[in-house]
Structure 1
């Protein structure tokens, strides 16, 4: 079954630093050429490398970064028929600062991603969305998915307001701990997956970094343990998790097995610098799973 990723494509300008700057502080770092990134692109490439047939819908500029982003998707085997290009503004751009311990701070200028438009879905298709495009277009994409009989997954990253009735229409809501805390405060509930599921009326998965992940469904709490690795940086780890999870669910894996595979892929992504370029292939994930 195919996977449609509707979301962002962003050129990452990666700065390597001894430590991350404090408020009002300027530090020197080392940067290279822009790299492919953006939550949508990262997740699409992660899913494609895990063996899924992936279509990507989004928007880039007609600039050099747009060509680079388009080429990265093509090289990963992602279908880019639905990737639009606009001359009305630049491609999205991110400043990614990574310290010696692999921790990061990221600022994103959405650019052309704000012109991305929802697209038609295939019956039974898995549709994966994030929050680096207009919320209105995500809502339209969700309606199109529901009308087509597709299954929508939303990664609420970055954490932004999303109507509660729309959350209830999802197959799965994916959050990290920071996003879970934000949504819990917004909804007036606890931060755990079970409390969030009760508040949203949809299945919820929460990634817990080095502690693995948990999910709450009608059958109760599901947990998947972590994989110990040497961390180069954590940029893109959450996107590896979402992309591989969506690919696994699209292949019919049960949620717990899909979460375990996603944990392995995210761990491998942490062992390499960068985002899209760090996504593992299926054989590498299989090897870690044993």
Structure 2
């Protein structure tokens, strides 16, 4: 089996703050060199570290940050043959502020990510997508996957409009509570997994932070309990969850087992700083599950 992650690659400027700034407020913090991030890159690395044959399709600039992002993917064992480069836009960049309790605020400049283009899929391939690239390219990637008998998982993050018929064509929709609320407001229904599944007609998983996760599937409702850990920061925890879940489902694990594994990986990601660097290895996740 193989997993294609189509999405964003972003260089993160991580600022450590005592607290997060209020509107109109300037605070001092400490920042280091850019770190690899972006939802697509993070999820591809999470999947590869969990043992998936992970491929990444996206776009970076022909700049130092582009080289940083490609290098991080390759170091994690991700196939980057489909990672395009452009000299017409800089690589994506994010400002990530993290307070003493691990909470964060993030601003993203997409840059080259808006030039990412959908790619052909292998027969039966699982495709994992997010919302930091152009929506029309996600829609095209979904069509390309279905044309060869593949299936698609969409992490609707950040929350944005996505056609209802396309949502119905997914294997699985993944949202956090804020994204679930935004989608529910658009659909005119409830924000829990059961209500969302009834509205769009496909399986839905909702991550619930320290309360674990729930999913509504054709087989019923699944609740996955959280793992108690000491939090360093929560940046990348959702990406760890999505990447490991997709890897587990691609390997044939049932949804309940895949969600439990994803919960463990996300918990581990919270124990260390950064995004891509925080994605756990399979052995670490196995140890926590034991």
**TM-score normalised by length of structure 2:** 1.00
What residue in structure 1 maps to residue 235 of structure 2? 235
Moved over 3 A (4+): none
Q: Name the structure 2 match of 1:51.
A: 51
For the pair 1:71 / 2:71, whether they are aligned, the reply is: yes
- Post-superposition offset of 1:155: 0.1
Between the aligned partners of 1:89 and 1:123, the Cα distance in structure 2 is: 32
SS in 2 for 1:95: strand
DSSP 3-state at the match of 1:72 = helix
Q: Map 1:216-255 onto structure 2 (within 5 A).
A: 216-255=216-255
Instruction: Please tell me whether residue 146 in structure 1 is matched to residue 146 in structure 2.
Output: yes
Equivalenced residue count is 290
2:173 aligns to what?
173
- Please name the residue that 1:123 is paired with: 123
Q: In 2, distance between residues paired with 1:220 and 1:180? A: 19
Q: Distance in 1 between matches of 2:64 and 2:196?
A: 42
- Unaligned runs of at least 5 residues, structure 1: none
Q: Secondary structure at the match of 1:226?
A: coil
Give the deviation of 1:218 after TM superposition: 1.3
- CA distance in 2: counterparts of 1:251 and 1:201, whole angstroms: 24
Q: What secondary structure, in the 3-state scheme, does the structure 2 residue paired with 1:57 have?
A: strand
- CA deviations on 1:199-234 (whole Å, 9 max, x unpaired) are 011100000000000000112211100000000000
Residue of structure 1 equivalent to 2:198: 198
Matched ranges for 1:32-43 at <5 A: 32-43=32-43
Report the equivalent of 2:3.
3
CA RMSD in angstroms, aligned pairs only? 0.4
1:124 deviates by 1.3
SS of residue matched to 2:117: coil
Q: How big is the shift at 1:276?
A: 0.1
CA deviation vs aligned residue, 1:154-196 (integer Å, no higher than 9, x gap): 0000000000000000000000000000000010010100000
